[in-house]
Structure 1
């Protein structure tokens, strides 16, 4: 690590998230590339003498992952446990129950945090120099699922919002830290899977709105030395309260073309002296992502030439759709994942808005209603649309 403090090292941690094991990219199986990234993680842990690895949610891409993804995770955890302590939390893509199955049977150096109960009991990691790191793992806190569990005994159910449930969880974390005050010197980390205000999203994060709101104010996660965040796929720092460093590690691979300019990485965190110091460790890149736009002649010629080995999204702009368009593009650009014909827009034609995984499903439904009826839904109709979406989302979570 190039900028390690000169003081005695207290603890070193590797922060990663959003592995999405089992995910594909426009039909391309990414499991081999995910395996290469996990080999890289093991190498970093060994080379940098990492004391703890934290994985901030979305370990799998869906609630019922493919067998190959489960096998890859099992083998990776076994390798990491030989070298360090691993703390995994569940994200909104994971089934907390399935990911957490057998948590009590895991070896001591593999800690799964998928339940609300015990979120204020940290994983304690110690080093040879007497330093202690307290890692509080918060599973993804879906307000509809956990707001009763997180309410204080005898108190009303919490408000139906990400802010309310995250604040209640952090109140428990801070209470545990306060009870430890005056003891040996420690560092504290909270691992959270949430959309924190100030973070910048891409197109591939699944919408998590409840009541139309998906954000958590950054001050809610204050009171610890480092907040290891997951959910947003771009590596980024979030401005938080004084004394707390907040960062998204981002996903290890690009999972949409909106992420083509990301530098994928993990975060090496050095908790030395009085300052938390971080360094991004670049992840291996299987192929670059690129956009190629132009006439078919351009695409097959100069515009496409630099991208023969890239995963590309091609937009062909000829006035008329060329014959055998897909076959001709793939012959020149064998890794083209998306091929579209988009002639120059007609004057006065309505602008089209792309619908991505991050789009608010209720807003998409409102656009459809407007398109069909010529008018936006009124308040009563909007309430029906939102209730229908949230009912469907709840059914998916319980699958």
Structure 2
């Protein structure tokens, strides 16, 4: 086993949250190395996390000026959103075009393109990357952290940020458990390549109880180059009947022009986890967890990657403060990060759960509320807005739960 003494801060994982953490550390003036288990030229299937909130764009611009503009220029902003109840439109909202040189309210683009922009920024900022050598062992102490990788190399660092995803080795190595639930029903997520010669209008459209799908909910979200289609199955459904390209080809023509059945680029089936790590740092306050290493949410409100971006920026700030202070003050800085971001994660988990109940709840009270809102929406627009906002969940939270 070889030894490699390294004063750099280590980031484990080169996904969007890990690269954001690396950029944030460089913005704080700290040297950083990213360790990634996969190859540099890895193929990342599917559009994955497509929606980036304005709050996240602001974070990105703060740590690397101009990066938000790059994201916005490559992504799209849909000017219209519509909500239907059993085939009848109950809400529509039209947005003004984003102002020139101003950040848009959001941008929508495939995660692989977002990662490409983040990687280019990391290279420009002087972030070092080590590919195909992920962490296998993480040992923390009051003095720092030793990370052993797949090659047998041992890296030493004063602090480590674990951004290695849902199956985080870092989280498991520091003995932290996830707590929460899993959705009872399955969601089919489909990527569709747009017909550039004859594209659909740029509109986000949500159907409560789509009549062509026997009352299942269907969501259409455009992103740069294509469409995300989410089909929300019932608990009693056999997901295999709807999953895979052949399964999707059977039902997609019922909700879109049949030509799109030949433009499927990715299909995935999920039972969404709603879990948060018991702690976002180790016992010695030397290892910090961010993104899916720390939390997994249902997709409502696009809270996953956006929350991870906020985690990453906060983690870098905490490490800079810890290095500047030392001693008990250093531990306090990391534990303050841990408390703040865990509170935000718990809020986001609960908000996503509220959204899930709003759109799929079978209990009598929520059923009556939805039906009544749909019936009176033509006369009382607030009722239609309530239906439209349900899939996003609450927008405000406790003081510790800073934006996402």
TM over 0.5: no
From the CA coordinates, give the structure whose radius of gyration is larger.
1
- Using structure 2 for the length normalisation, give the TM-score: 0.29
Q: Relative contact order (alpha carbons < 8 A, sep ≥ 6): 1 or 2 greater? A: 2
Larger helix percent:
2
TM-score computed with the length of structure 1 as normaliser: 0.29
